[in-house]
Structure 1
Amino acid sequence: MKIYPIGAALFVASLFAGATASATVITFDDLVKPGRYGPTTGSGFVDFGFVFSSNMDALDVSPSGHWWSDGVGNGHSGKYAALNNYGGNMLMTKQGGGTFSVQDLWLNGWQGASQTDTIVGLLNGNVVGSVTATFSQPWTNFALNFANIDTLRINSATNFLVDDIQVNSASNGVPEPTSLALFGLALAGLAVLRRRKA
């Protein structure tokens, strides 16, 4: 079998490019025990490396959850979601700081309440993008496509549920150092292969 180093290098590069563009979906499913709030009540929480403000709780909203789940149905995926339990704006930032992107998320009015909120992406306190969101039940998807933000804020005066927030931690598409190192090793290997054949 004949190996074409340039073609192989391009193939490897495309694999790494795809890896850096992959998204993470914050589902809140790993934080909560069935029928419970979790991991804490009224002090915010961290999930998938993102910090959620102190007015947010993660909880089981399935019909078998608890009294609070009456009329909710379920999370958008699975049995769990995050609840703005104490009113006011929800804030989401990256643990340790830094920028990220948010492609989309799902919102649901608590106990079926209808409301209109504003979803805002911020960088250093400046608005990068803004989407007006009107929702009640069932779950409604909102495409945001906010890139290079350091804060996601949902402006709200009342309670709401959020689930399946799709994020990329490297919003500008620049590969992480580990990916670059692996890519460099792959290219070096291809160069050695080419020299041996010559």
Structure 2
Amino acid sequence: MKNCIIGLMASAGLLLASAAQASVINFDELDAGGKLASLAKTAPYAGLTWSASWFLGDTTVGGYDNGAHSGNEFVSNGFGVNHLGISSATPFSFSGAWFAAPNTNGSRASWINITAYDSANQLIGSTGNIAISASYALIAANFGNVARLDIARDKGWFVMDDLNVSSGTSVPEPGSMALMGLGVAALAWARRRRQGN
């Protein structure tokens, strides 16, 4: 019985692992060319639609030497925009992103709030206002079935990098279902064989 339970747990783990494909969006395959440039030029990017106020930058831009959490590229909020959106026609899961306030002389954001909505524009959840500083901090979330993220700040500029998303739905791919079916059949066969002895 113990082996049967362990086998079922392993099959379920394989099934869940293959149902979604996690990725970290770090913007490093893009080239900002030493300036802040509209990310809309590359939209959609990484399978997501980015609102027009997202700007791509790199760490050579004056005041943004702390802009990237990893690599050299990052995104920042546009001029005077308080709410920025990230959306997709295909539902995705969002587990967090890294945020900081850049080293600019101008106004800098002191908090970030991420709110998630589903395809019917129903609220999934919100992180609440999370303080940020010149050092990168992870704003974690556990939002599934997301169609749109709204990222708000209190004032000024912020930078974001290493966005953690998972594509896919709760419906497993056919190969995983077949693998799990074979595992269950093998466990049933082994159990019958043991009972016959």
Aligned: 1:182 with 2:179:
no
Picking from 106, 130, 133, the partner of 1:133 is 130
Superposed CA deviations along residues 26-48 of structure 1, whole A, max 9, x for unmatched, are 1111222553555x466673322
Q: Contact conserved, 1:99 with 1:150, CA < 8 A, in 2?
A: yes
Distance 1:187 1:23 in 2: 21
For residue 29 of structure 1, what is the aligned residue in structure 2?
A: 28
Aligned: 1:147 with 2:144:
yes
Distance 1:6 1:164 in 2: 37
Q: Contact conserved, 1:44 with 1:56, CA < 8 A, in 2?
A: no
**SS of structure 2 residue aligned to 1:18:** helix
Q: Contact conserved, 2:117 with 2:124, CA < 8 A, in 1?
A: yes
Q: How does 1:166-181 map to 2 (within 5 A)?
A: 166-170=164-168, 174-176=170-172, 179=173, 181=174
- Structure 2, unaligned runs of 5 or more: none
Distance 1:7 1:78 in 2: 41
Q: Contact conserved, 1:109 with 1:160, CA < 8 A, in 2?
A: yes
Q: How does 1:1-198 map to 2 (within 5 A)?
A: 11-32=10-31, 35-37=34-36, 40=38, 45-60=43-58, 62=59, 65=60, 68-88=61-81, 89-94=83-88, 97-111=89-103, 113-123=108-118, 124-130=120-126, 131-156=128-153, 157-170=155-168, 174-176=170-172, 179=173, 181-186=174-179
Q: Contact conserved, 2:24 with 2:165, CA < 8 A, in 1?
A: yes
Change (3 A) 1:87 1:42: farther
Q: Contact conserved, 2:66 with 2:102, CA < 8 A, in 1?
A: no
Q: CA deviation at 1:12?
A: 4.9
CA root-mean-square deviation = 3.2
User: What's the % identity of the aligned pairs?
Assistant: 21
- Structure 1, unaligned runs of 5 or more: none
Q: Contact conserved, 2:32 with 2:73, CA < 8 A, in 1?
A: no
